[in-house]
Structure 1
Amino acid sequence: MTTQASTDSLAGRRFVLAPNIAPNWPQTVRIFIGLSAVCLGIGVVCAACGLWPILTFAGLEVLALGAALYVSARRSLDREVINVTDNNIRIEKGRGRVEQAYEMERAWTQVELRRLSRRWDETQLVLRSRDREVTLGSFLDPDERLSLARELKGCIGPMARCGGTLFRTLGEKAG
């Protein structure tokens, strides 16, 4: 998983979530060509020795490998972008481009980290505002989801915006 969090006092905060599961496309193609050459090479040698059914299974193996690498490469394009500004939260989800976008009011949004009972130590990160819920980071592991939840709780919700101002004001008065 790759998480980028940028802070800009004027623009708010931006979180970019991406799975870290595959090499880039040219590397994936080179891996596929190399493994296919070895597999089909062994199949051709076996077919030349009279064991022709092995070539059929080698071809099926190469097709399965190609499908698995393609699915993995497509999943590596998944992105979730969370933009937190003064009053709004914009969540964009997609694969290579924005496919879903959600808008929520910052003051009315809650960050929830739910423990799922059906899986061992599995959690679900949800942003909830009024009647809308958006699940985030489904590809994150539990520790990464917990870390993201802490970061989001620090900048989202009714007390996040005024809490930072209150603490700064109290700190200035004390100092």
Structure 2
Amino acid sequence: MSTTQSNSAEGARRFVLAPNIAPNWGQTVRVFIGLSVVCLGVALVLTSMGFWPVLPFAGLELTALGAALYVSARRSLDREIVHVEGAEIRVEKGRGRVEKTWYLDRAWTEVALRQLPRRWEHTQLVLRSRGREVILGEFLETDERRSLARELSHCIGPMARCGTGAYSALTGADDPAKAIGPTHSLGERTG
């Protein structure tokens, strides 16, 4: 998993999620060519010795390897970008380009990390807002998902700590939690 976050303006954050599963396309092609040369070289030597059935199997082997490397390289282009800026959250998902975009209201969005019932210790990170849900980081490990949920919960929702300073302007307090007063213990929302 690769996660980056940047502060482009005061209160604005950007989280980029990408699977860490494959080298770049050029490296993948070089590995495939190297393995192909070795495999076909051995197959041609064996074919010249009379073991001709080795050549079609070598071709099938290289076709399967090429398909697996292609699928892996394509999956490495998956991206999920979460923009938290002003009063809005924009979630973009796609492979190599933005394919789907969601817009959520920052104050009404909840960050939830829920346990999936049929999978042992598998969680799902969800942004919920007004009846809509956006699932994030399906390719992340459980610990990475927990960490991301903590980071997102600091800047999303009604008690967001990296807001635009509206709390200090309205109440004179620097910290939104102090401006509201004592809080009730409802347990940890993010697991």
* TM-score calculated relative to the size of structure 2: 0.84
Alpha-carbon distance between aligned partners in 2 of 1:10 and 1:123, rounded to the nearest angstrom:
31
Given residue 115 of structure 1, which amino acid in structure 2 is its aligned partner?
Q
- 1:6 paired to 2:6: yes
What's the counterpart of residue 103 of structure 1? 103
Determine helix, strand or coil for the equivalent of 1:46.
helix
Q: For the residues of structure 2 that align with 1:43 and 1:163, how far apart are their CA atoms?
A: 71
Structure 2 unaligned regions, length at least 5: 180-191
Q: Does 1:89 align with 2:96?
A: no
Size of the alignment, in residue pairs?
Answer: 171
Distance in 1, Cα, partners of 2:121 & 2:133: 22
Q: Is 1:168 matched up with 2:171? A: no
Question: Cα distance 1:72–1:27, how it changes in 2: closer, same or farther (>3 A)?
Answer: same
What residue is the counterpart of 1:37 in the other structure?
37
2: distance between equivalents of 1:167 and 1:150?
21
**What is the CA–CA distance in structure 1 between the aligned matches of 2:124 and 2:166, rounded to whole Å?**
26
Counterpart Cα distance in 1 of 2:166 and 2:116: 30
Number of the residue aligned with 1:126: 126
Alpha-carbon displacement from aligned partner over 1:121-140 (angstroms, at most 9, x marks no partner): 11100001012100000111
CA RMSD of aligned residues (A): 1.9
Moved more, 157-166 or 133-142: 157-166
Structure 2 residue aligned with 1:158: 158
- Identical-pair percentage: 63
1:113 equivalenced with 2:113 (yes/no): yes
Alpha-carbon distance in structure 2 between the residues aligned to 1:121 and 1:37: 43
Instruction: Report the Cα distance in structure 2 between the residues aligned to 1:60 and 1:11, rounded to whole angstroms.
Output: 54
Look up the SS of the partner of 1:98 in the other structure.
coil
TM-score by length of 1: 0.91
Runs (5+) with no aligned partner, structure 1: none
**Letter in structure 1 aligned against 2:123:** T
Which residue in 2 is equivalent to 1:15?
A: 15
